[in-house]
């Protein structure tokens, strides 16, 4: 992590300038600037209603931004549709529904690597992998996600934690430019949380990961950068050590979520 942070010219994978979202007259998101560095783990935190999920919806194109611009590797994607953003490599993980429940783990990953899932199939910058390459990709990902021992089990029969990891694997197999996760550890038991934490940290070595998370232990442990939001705006941003000690953050969270929860 430290050698990455020394590189001040690191590429911005996903960026926003002055992004805002309104629902009717209600301002859910206002004037948010983001620069998500390539191959980094960037977390978004903030109390309920802070606008975190709305920000994700604006990034994925599910919700139209009422102001501001969004760029992907320097290319303006503000006016693209949600489908086009998937094609451009903005992958959203954490949707267990996108697994094929009757197919085994290996087959799910192999199909995703071959571009046979809705989002992977449309990735225009890469040609579909051959059978052999897709098999290798599936093997690599199973290894990385600690799913090798269940490679021949139907996805629908996996434990909840294993399904959530497989879902991340499906996103990885499509070789996306950015992976977004909205509260990837929600509803998980302690062992699954630990595995997901290690997985996200590992993912950040060669992927760009943007995730919303309530568990402060995870956030402070694995993030290169933390963005704190409150009432639709960015409150503070920086490395975990800076964010943790920021008086504004302390005030915003006191007695709320940081207390006793920081690692
Ligand atoms: N579709 C919607 N219509 C109206 N208000 C919404 C809608 N979605 C979210 N909001 C409001 O926008 C604010 C931010 O919500 P959200 O982005 O879900 O916050 P967070 O994910 O940080 O908890 C909340 O006050 C919420 O009630
Ligand atoms: Mg939310």
C-alpha span between 248 and 45 (Å, rounded): 14
**Predicted local distance difference test score (pLDDT) of residue 10:** 60
C-alpha span between 124 and 176 (Å, rounded): 11
Closest ligand (CA of 232): 1
Radius of gyration from C-alpha coordinates of the chain: 18
pLDDT tens digits, 133-147: 899 999 999 999 999
Is domain 1-89+177-263 annotated with CATH 3.40.50.300? yes
- E-strand ranges in the chain read 12-23, 26-37, 41-45, 67-72, 75-76, 90-92, 178-182, 209-212, 225-230, 233-238
Q: What is the mean pLDDT of residues 95-104?
A: 80
Under a CB-based contact definition with an 8 Å cutoff, are residues 5 and 168 in contact? no
> Which residue(s) pair with 71 in the sheet?
15, 76
Closest ligand (CA of 49): 1
Sheet holding 67-72, edge to edge: 26-37, 12-23, 67-72, 75-76
> Which residue(s) pair with 67 in the sheet?
20
pLDDT tens digits, 26-35: 999 999 999 9
Name the residue at shortest CA distance from atom 8 of ligand 1.
54
Question: What residues does each domain of the chain span?
Answer: 1-89+177-263, 94-176
Does residue 101's CB lie within 6 angstroms of at least one atom of ligand 1? no
pLDDT tens digits, 200-234: 999 999 999 999 999 999 999 999 999 999 999 99
Q: What is the mean pLDDT of residues 44-72?
A: 96
C-alpha span between 181 and 152 (Å, rounded): 26
pLDDT at 258 > cutoff 90: no
pLDDT at 259 > cutoff 70: no
Name the residue at shortest CA distance from atom 4 of ligand 1.
23
Neighbours of 6 (CB within 10 A): 7
Choose among 87, 85, 63, 76: nearest CA to 17.
Answer: 76
Query: Residue 144 C-alpha to ligand 2 middle, in angstroms?
Result: 28
pLDDT at 126 > cutoff 70: no
The β-bridge relationship of strands 233-238 and 225-230 is antiparallel
DSSP 8-state assignment for residue 93: -
Do domains 1-89+177-263 and 94-176 share one topology? The answer is yes
Fold of 94-176: Rossmann fold (3.40.50)
**Predicted local distance difference test score (pLDDT) of residue 262:** 42
Of 92-101, 155-164, 183-192, 219-228, the one with minimum mean pLDDT is: 92-101
* Sequence-ordered list of residues with C-beta below 8 angstroms from that of 23, at least 6 positions apart, any chain: none
Mutation test of ligand 1: which of 26, 181, 252 has the most ligand atoms closer than 8 Å to its C-beta? 26
C-alpha span between 163 and 96 (Å, rounded): 7
Q: What is the mean pLDDT of residues 148-175?
A: 93
């Amino acid at each position: 992590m430290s050698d990455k942070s020394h590189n001040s010219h690191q590429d911005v994978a996903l960026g926003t300038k002055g992004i805002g979202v309104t629902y009717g007259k209600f301002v859910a998101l206002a004037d948010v600037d983001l620069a998500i560095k390539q191959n980094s783990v960037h977390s978004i935190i903030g109390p309920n209603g802070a606008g975190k999920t709305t920000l994700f919806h604006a990034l994925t194109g599910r919700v139209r931004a009422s102001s501001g611009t969004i760029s992907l590797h320097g290319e303006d994607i503000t006016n693209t549709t949600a489908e086009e953003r998937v094609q451009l490599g903005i992958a959203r993980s954490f949707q267990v529904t996108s697994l094929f429940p009757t197919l085994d783990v290996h087959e799910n990953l192999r199909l995703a690597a071959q571009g046979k899932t809705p989002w992977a199939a449309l990735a225009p910058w890469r040609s579909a992998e051959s059978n052999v390459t897709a098999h290798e990709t599936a093997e690599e990902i199973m290894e990385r996600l600690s799913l090798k021992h269940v490679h021949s089990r139907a996805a629908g029969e996996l434990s909840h934690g294993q399904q959530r990891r497989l879902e991340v694997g499906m996103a990885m197999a499509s070789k996306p430019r950015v992976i977004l996760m909205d509260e990837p550890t929600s509803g998980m038991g302690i062992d699954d949380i630990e595995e997901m934490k290690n997985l996200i940290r590992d993912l950040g070595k060669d992927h760009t990961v943007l995730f919303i998370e309530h568990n402060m232990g995870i956030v402070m442990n694995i993030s290169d950068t933390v963005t704190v939001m409150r009432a639709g705006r960015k409150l503070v941003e920086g490395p975990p050590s800076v964010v943790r000690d920021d008086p504004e953050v302390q005030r915003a969270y006191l007695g709320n979520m940081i207390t006793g929860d920081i690692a």
